[in-house]
Structure 1
């Protein structure tokens, strides 16, 4: 069988909701609709590590961006992403295409366009995604990006609308 040679970078929790802070999981195992679109579009899924889980464990308390914005956590994020960056550069060198980077809206770590501050949700990037984007830029790479909205998996209408946007983002049919 022929490879698609198309990949997408996904936050850890898209494929493993067990890594999410307790009571914030949207589905029992994975964000199934989003994963289904990836499968239907023939995308290989590169699962980013969860910096919050690997830093503070499964039973960590909810925290905001200000709490994660620390030198030690940023170093942890850079170490976690380094092997992923090696994979990305190897794939690209071999003619593969990375269709994009997905984030989690309002995440203090994985938000690409919104994050969670002490005062609540607002524009900005999560700490991990800042480090991911800096590492990619250091290699001269810029990827299209998209956040999974807060209402995904909670609000049926928002979920359906997002999945249509996500399919288009992946280069598929509407």
Structure 2
């Protein structure tokens, strides 16, 4: 391993270039809001102020996978959509029996994705890069840093809602009402694997609810503070 690293350093010296060796890991939807749950995209593409803060500081932006896209049925989260208004045809005892299976499968997918993400973080660090931060999304049941969702309550309320009356405002009102302190399921898995490998990474939160209210991202300010780019 040491010999391999010495060889890499020799090549780095010979083939030096302009790379800044500083990166930030970003939750997928911060660079691509097209993967948000339907009703949850407040921007047509990316959260521009976060991208601008990274560009100003010369940070490379590494896009994490969207765990919900992987676990819940693609870009539109088809498995999640089937639960909307499902109380009409799926009795509560069956919904309660199905939920642990859904969550167990979700955690299994998230463990695999978190393992791959942490391997990538470790590789950047091994090759002499600084991982400045990982930016998650508060209000997400998966990528929350300080706030997540009570996913059981949120899904039950979506199941009991009248499918024909569900609107963007109604869906977001349910998610606001079921927001709780704590980290999301994917964030939890990433932290656990970072701790196991004794890798310290700063976590920064982008607030989804503030974004939906039309407010700028406090994560952009946090990144500028971290990098000294006020």
TM-score interval (norm. to shorter): 0.7 to 0.9
5+ residue gaps, structure 2, are 1-16, 84-98, 154-176
Residue matched to 1:123: 181
Residue matched to 1:147: 205
Out of 119, 139, 145, the position equivalent to 1:86 is 119
Q: Does 1:167 align with 2:224?
A: yes
Per-residue deviation, residues 113-138 of structure 1 (Å, max 9, x unmatched): 10011261111010010001111111
Q: How does 1:25-174 map to 2 (within 5 A)?
A: 25-56=41-72, 57-60=74-77, 61=80, 70-117=103-150, 118=153, 120-149=178-207, 150-152=209-211, 154-156=213-215, 159=216, 162-169=219-226, 171-174=227-230
RMSD: 2.2
Higher strand share: 1
CA distance in 2, matches of 1:31, 1:147: 13
Higher helix share: 2
Relative to 1, partners in 2 of residues 1:168 and 1:115: Cα closer, same or farther, differing over 3 Å?
A: same
Secondary structure of residue in 2 paired with 1:98: strand
TM-score normalised by L of structure 2: 0.67
Q: Answer whether contact 1:31 1:153 (CA < 8 A) is retained.
A: no
Residue matched to 2:93: none
5+ residue gaps, structure 1, are none
Structure whose alpha-carbon radius of gyration is higher: 2
